[in-house]
Copies of this chain bind each other. A is one copy, B any other.
Amino acid sequence: MIRLPEYREVCKKSLEMIDEAGIRLTLEDRKKMTAVDFGLSHIEKEGVQILTMFETDRIAGKILVLLPNQTEPEHWHPAVGDDAGKEEVIRAISGELYFYIPGEDNMKHGFIIEGKEDCYTMRNEVVLQPGEQLVLPAGTRHWFQAGEKGAVMYSFSTKVTDLQDQFTDPNIVRETKIGNL
């Protein structure tokens, strides 16, 4: 659950960060800004802001925003029906961005949310500077975090199947519930 004023505040802040990153948005785009708290009710710690630029039956393009030190929880995109699972390419636009994927533990820049070691099991760190990109094949377990400046990135992918995403944290609910006050 996220309260409406907080929801509006993180969306507003995220749009400002996209503007500062130099990405041109139409008015129609701006209305599409959303925030996801994963049902954990502390969006500034664990959450993400998403602006879907386009989404068809075959491909999608989104802008993702992380506020300073915000963390998107560990998850993966499983095969669904005939689909092999969502393949995703992240392209960093601005800020400081750390990805964690399968591989040896070389974690240096980011941090694990206190008491949630079991929910963040990938420790192979990939630092993405603006302009750098990372391909995440279907099924790749991953989580990511912004540094002190926050981060703006593109996410390009095959067909979106977000509601089928699998999370390491059993307390996560993918759909965001917005409370009135």
**Residues of A with Cβ closer than 8 Å to B?**
22-26, 29, 53-54, 56, 58-59, 61, 87, 89, 91, 93, 129-133, 135, 156-158
Q: Which residues of B contact A29 (CB under 8 A)?
A: 131
Which of A26, A58, A61, A157 counts the most chain B CB atoms within 10 A?
A58
Q: Which residues of B contact A132 (CB under 8 A)?
A: 26
Counting every copy of the chain, the complex holds 2
Q: Which residues of B contact A158 (CB under 8 A)?
A: 58-59, 158
Distance in angstroms between the alpha carbons of A61 and B133 in the assembled complex? 11
User: B22, B59, B91: which contacts A59 (Cβ < 8 A)?
Assistant: B59
Asked if A59 contacts B157 (CB within 8 A), the reply is yes
Q: Which residues of B contact A89 (CB under 8 A)?
A: 54, 56, 59, 61
**Distance (whole angstroms) from the CB of A75 to the closest CB of chain B:** 19
Asked if A133 contacts B54 (CB within 8 A), the reply is yes
Asked if A135 contacts B58 (CB within 8 A), the reply is no
Distance in angstroms between the alpha carbons of A144 and B97 in the assembled complex? 36
Please name 25 pairs of A and B residues whose Cβ atoms are closer than 8 Å in the assembled complex, sorted by A: A22-B22, A23-B131, A24-B93, A25-B131, A26-B129, A26-B131, A29-B131, A53-B91, A53-B133, A54-B89, A54-B91, A54-B133, A54-B135, A54-B156, A56-B89, A56-B135, A58-B87, A58-B158, A59-B87, A59-B89, A59-B156, A59-B158, A61-B89, A61-B156, A158-B158
Q: Which residues of B contact A53 (CB under 8 A)?
A: 91, 133
